[in-house]
Amino acid sequence: MAKRLGLYFLGILILGFGIVLNTKTGLGVAAINSVPFGISEMTNLSLGMATTILYIIFVGVQLLIYQKLDFKVLLQIPFSYFMGYVLDFYNNLLNFTVTSLPVALVLLAIAILATALGAYVVVMLDLIPNPADGMVKALSQVIDKEFGKTKLLFDCGMMLVTIITTYCLAGKIIGIGIGTILSAGFIGQIIVIYNRYFTKHLTLIVENSRA
């Protein structure tokens, strides 16, 4: 179990690194992160705090949908605070501005690879789900569509919320760009590749921890 927990937290750290590095490229952030990023850019809230607030809202919506106090959903609350801390840590650590397009594209590629790896590890180890994924799962049951299609609709919804709120409040669109499109197009595909090569090993770790 200790090994499984260690890998799970490593997955969160990798995921957080990918998310923050994505924001540093200036090319647009992943859809799910666009709302807290836009809020943090327009207010005094840090990226981590804005993300924590959004995640806790997701937890509340899940509880309303399920209409019961699901323990695994409630555990997403401490996950939200921890992820917020991780994001603020990396945001302070990676304190730089990118002005070169080639450098920005390289950093975006690294960010996409890291985000995909972190998300894959967190999901595969099946401990506490990311509140965003938990939200998508709950919504998929409400609209009776498979997870992948629901996630696509959810991501589009997040981008729309970001576009409307940032344009109305800041007079410009914040956080949406080519990086948003590339993240949407490649993160899922890269997770498929990780799944092909690493699932056997992670499944073994999960099974051993349950034995």
Tokens 């799962």 found at: 137
Mean pLDDT over 26-32 rounds to 92
Provide the token pair at 201: 């090993």
pLDDT at site 115: 93
| Mean pLDDT, rounded, of the chain | 91
Q: How confident is the model at residue 209 (pLDDT cuts 50, 70, 90)?
A: low
What DSSP designation does 6 have? H
Provide the token pair at 136: 């998508």
Q: How far apart are CA 197 and CA 137, in angstroms?
A: 25
φ and ψ of 167, to 5 deg:
-70, -40
Q: How far apart are CA 165 and CA 94, in angstroms?
A: 26
Nearest Cα to Cα of residue 118 among 194, 180, 56: 194
- Residue 121 near residue 14 (C-beta atoms within 8 A): yes
Model's pTM, two decimal places? 0.89
Of 3-7, 70-74, 81-85, 137-141, give the range with the top mean pLDDT: 81-85
Q: How confident is the model at residue 210 (pLDDT cuts 50, 70, 90)?
A: low
Greatest alpha-carbon pair distance for the chain in Å reads 56
pLDDT tens for residues 125-158?
878 989 998 999 899 989 988 877 888 888 899 9
Provide the token pair at 204: 């073994």
In angstroms, what CA-CA distances link 191 with 85, 92, 108, 123, 160?
A: 25, 28, 16, 10, 25
Q: How confident is the model at residue 29 (pLDDT cuts 50, 70, 90)?
A: very high
Nearest Cα to Cα of residue 36 among 26, 24, 47: 47
pLDDT tens for residues 86-132?
999 999 999 998 989 999 999 999 999 999 999 989 888 878 989 99
